[in-house]
Structure 1
């Protein structure tokens, strides 16, 4: 049985926008440069446009050499290096 993909509305709430990007809400708030549109004065009325999120996500494509600077800035925002983490091998006990 095939799992169906979720339906994503054109304008997403904060939790939906973070989930759409595959990020936690806290991380999404730190790194996403896309500004929400305001349906109401309340922060609950903010919505992120899916098309703008798609455009932003395309700019951080790891296979595109032109996006290296963008990826580095996101790593800086998270206080992490953009380089992949390498793990040390455990020493074998004898």
Structure 2
């Protein structure tokens, strides 16, 4: 039969593990890097994705747009951002244009 003291000790130990970073508790980085794609390289999408890239650990890895000129501008822009953050440029195989770019 468990008494109150043993129960509280066990609950306290479990609660302590819950506030420790996963990388410390389990010796690996949880969800180390989020990778995302931007569909639509116009002003609004580029602005939001730029803010996201600069202010989070996430990294943009793919682009898609209906218009090839917008796609080229977006690739140049995000290649520069990735370079400034120490990430590689977006692979040309990961750029998609046309109506079925999704």
Give your verdict on TM over 0.5. Answer: no
Higher strand residue share: 2
TM-score normalized by structure 1? 0.25
TM-score normalized by structure 2? 0.23
